[in-house]
Amino acid sequence: MTAPPALLTSDSGSVRTLTLNRPHRRNAVDRDLWGLLRQALTEASHDPAVRALVLTGAGGAFCSGADLTSGAADPRHPLDKVRDLNEVALLLHESPVPTVAKVDGAAVGAGWNLALGCDLVVATPESRFSQIFTRRGLSPDCGGSWLLPRLTGLQQAKRLALLAETIDAEEARSLNLVTWVVPADEIDAYVAGLADRLAAGPPVAQAQTKALLNEGTGRTLREALAAEARAQTANFASTDVTEAYAAFAEKREPRFTGRWFRQPATEDPSCAKQ
C-alpha cells in the first residue's frame, strides 16, 4: 500500500494551505518532510497566484517537532540535519506572502517555532504549546531563540525555553505568542475568512510591510526611516496605489493585483525601422 503524502497542498482561490500529514507521529517532521516543506514554501513565494498561505497539521495536532526517531537512519552530521530546519525557518520568515498558522492540538519544539514563524497564529482552546528542548537535552532551534524574545520579551522567553513548560492557548495569547483563540468548530471558517482578507490585500505593500516589521527591531530609527522610504517607492511603482484611490473615490472595495505601474509600450521606438 502506498503511504499517504507527508505534506498536503490545496488551493482555494488565492489561498494555499499546507497541511503536515503524519498524524501517526503527531506530524513530527522528518528529513523527507523538511524537504517537502522547503520545496512548497519556495514555490508559494514565487507563485504570483498565491496571495496568502496557511500552515496547519492533520489528525488533531499541529506539529510535535522534529522527528528524533528518524535520526538513526540519517547518517549526516548534526549540523547538516539542522540546516534542513534553518532553510525552512528562513523561507517562512522571508516569504513575501502573508502566512497564518492554524493550530489545533499540540505545537511542540520546532513545531511551535514553525507556528511562531508565521505572521499570524490562530489556535483552539485545546491547543498546547511547549519549548520542549531542554527536556531532551537540547536548545531551541527552527528560529525559536530569535522569535521568542522578540514576541514575548526576554524574561518570558527564558522561562519558556529553560523550564520547557507546557502552556495553553489563552496563556500563549497573553504572551503575544497566539493572535486569536477560536473554538475548534469555528477555526476552519475563521482562518478561511482571515486568509481571504489577506489574499485580497495589495501584495507589493504587504510584502514590504512584512519585511519592514521583521527587520525593524534590528534597526535604528534612521535606518528604519530609510527602509520605509525605499518600501514606499516600490509601492508607488504598483498600480495598487492608484486603484486604492479610485476605489475610495468610487465607494467600492479595491481590486489589488500587484502589477507594475509602467506598462510595456506596444512598440519600442528604439527598435523601429528607419
The pLDDT, as a whole number, for residue 270 is 47
| Residue 63: strand pairing partners | 107
User: What total of structural domains would you count in the chain?
Assistant: 2
Quick: pLDDT tens for 125-150: 999 999 999 999 999 999 999 999 99
The pLDDT, as a whole number, for residue 80 is 86
Quick: pLDDT tens for 200-229: 999 999 999 999 999 998 999 999 999 999
The span from the CA of 163 to the CA of 14, in Å, is: 41
Mean pLDDT estimate for the chain? 93
Task: Classify residue 2: in a domain, yes or no.
Answer: no
* DSSP E strand stretches across the chain: 7-12, 15-20, 52-57, 99-103, 106-108, 120-123, 128-130, 166-168, 180-181
Q: Are residues 69 and 186 in the same domain?
A: yes
Task: Classify residue 266: in a domain, yes or no.
Answer: no
Q: Are residues 156 and 229 in the same domain?
A: no
Task: Classify residue 162: in a domain, yes or no.
Answer: yes
Task: Classify residue 17: in a domain, yes or no.
Answer: yes
Domain hosting residue 244, numbered range: 203-250
Task: Classify residue 58: in a domain, yes or no.
Answer: yes
More confident residue, 74 or 122: 122
Q: Are residues 55 and 153 in the same domain?
A: yes
The pLDDT, as a whole number, for residue 78 is 81
Quick: pLDDT tens for 88-116: 999 999 999 999 999 999 999 999 999 99
The pLDDT, as a whole number, for residue 264 is 59
262 by DSSP, 3-state: which?
A: coil
Kindly report the number of other CB atoms within 10 A of residue 137's CB atom. 6
- 142, 113 contact by CB (below 8 A): yes
Region of 150 please: left (phi>0), alpha (psi -120 to 50) or beta. Answer: alpha
Task: Classify residue 272: in a domain, yes or no.
Answer: no
**Phi, psi of 13, rounded to the nearest 5 degrees:** 65, -125
Q: Are residues 220 and 181 in the same domain?
A: no
Instruction: Report whether pLDDT(16) > 80.
Output: yes
pTM to 2 decimal places: 0.92
Query: CA torsion angle for 130, 135, 141, 144 (degrees, to 10)?
Result: 40
The one-letter code for the residue type at 133 is F
Q: Are residues 152 and 240 in the same domain?
A: no
Task: Classify residue 267: in a domain, yes or no.
Answer: no
The one-letter code for the residue type at 93 is H
Domain at 86, CATH number: 3.90.226.10
Rounded to an integer, the average pLDDT of 144-168 is 97
CA 218 from centre of chain:
20
Q: Are residues 86 and 190 in the same domain?
A: yes
